[in-house]
Amino acid sequence: MPLPRLALAVIGDEIGPSLEDMISFCQEHDVRRLDMRTVNGRNLLSMGLEEATAIARTIEKAGLQVPTFVSPLLKWPAAGKAADGGGKVDFAFDPKDCPAEDPLIHAFDLAVVLGASRIRVFSHLRYPGYKPQDLFGRYERLIDLAGTYSVTVEIENEPVCNIATIADLAELFGSLTEAVSPNPLPLTLRPLVDIGNAWAAGKPPTDAEIDALAPRVDLIHLKDRDSSAGRTVPLGDGDIPWAHELERLLAATEKASTDEILASIETHCPQDARDATARSVAGLRRLAGEIGVEVI
C-alpha cells in the first residue's frame, strides 16, 4: 500500500504578522490550509469571540481552511510549580491575558469559530520532579471538552515543557493508556509529533517510540535544524535526516491504516519568515517526492 498522503498546512504567523501576509502567501504558493496562532502579534487566545469571528470570515472568504488552532494552552507554569528556567519560551502566554474566566473553554470556543477540527496543547513549563501522572487531571478535562466540542486535542512535545521529546510523548500516552485500561484511551487525545523539537532537545526519536505513537498520529510539525550553529533553518536546509524521518513515520502510520497526515510547516525563522516558509514548503514537496509521498 502507498504511504499516507501529507496534507500541507502553514502556521500563519510563521509567514508574517498580518492576516493579509498569511493569505497572500497561501495564494502565491498553492497552500489551502492555514493553521492559526497569532495575528499582528496577539495570540488568538487573548481575543474575544467577535474579533476571532472576523478573522475566521476573512480566511473563509479567501477559500482557506483552518485545520488547527495552534493554541498556547498549558504553555505556562503549573499551579504550585516553579518552572526551571529551561530557556526562552517562544510565543509565551499568561492565562491572565485570556478575556474569559476559563482559558480552556475559551480556546475550544475559538477553535469552533475558526472551523478548526484540532487544538494544540502543551504540558506546562518544565519543572523538577515532573511525572506523567501530574498531567492526568488536566488532560482528562481536555478529553471531556474534546468530546463536547468535537475537536481533537493534540499534545505537542516542546523543549521548554515537561513533554520535550518523542520519548516523553510515548511515555505519557503509555501511562494514560495503562491508567484507563481496560477502556480505550479516546482518540480525541493525540500526540502532535514534532521531530524537529526532539532533535533540538538532543533526543532524536527511536523506532520504538515512533511505533508506539503511530496509531494515534494525525498531525506533525515540520522544521529543520543546523546543529552546529544551534539554530532553526528552513526545512531541507538543516542536518535532520528528514527523508528518513518522514518515511519512517509514514510507514508506521500506514500500518495503523492511516491514509492522511496533516503536515504543518512551523518554520521558526523570524529573521526571514516569508522566504524561509516558502523554502520550507518547497522543501517538503521535494522531500515527499524523494520518498514517493503525495502532498495535497
pLDDT in tens, the chain (296 residues): 789 999 999 999 999 999 999 999 999 999 999 999 999 999 999 999 999 999 999 999 999 999 999 999 999 999 999 888 667 788 889 999 999 999 999 999 999 999 999 999 999 999 999 999 999 999 999 999 999 999 999 999 999 999 999 999 999 999 999 999 999 999 999 999 999 999 999 999 999 999 999 999 999 999 999 998 889 999 999 999 999 999 999 999 988 888 999 999 999 999 999 999 999 999 999 999 999 999 99
Domain residue limits, the chain: 5-291
Superfamily of structural domain 5-291: Divalent-metal-dependent TIM barrel enzymes (3.20.20.150)
State how far the Cα of 44 lies from the Cα of 51, in Å rounded to an integer: 9
Q: For the whole model, what pTM was predicted?
A: 0.96
Q: Which amino acid is at 277?
A: T
The gap between the terminal CA atoms of the chain, to the nearest Å, is 18
The answer to whether 146 and 158 are in contact (CB under 8 A) is: no
Report the candidate in 228, 220, 229 with the shortest Cα–Cα distance to residue 266.
Answer: 220
- The 3-state DSSP class for residue 230 equals coil
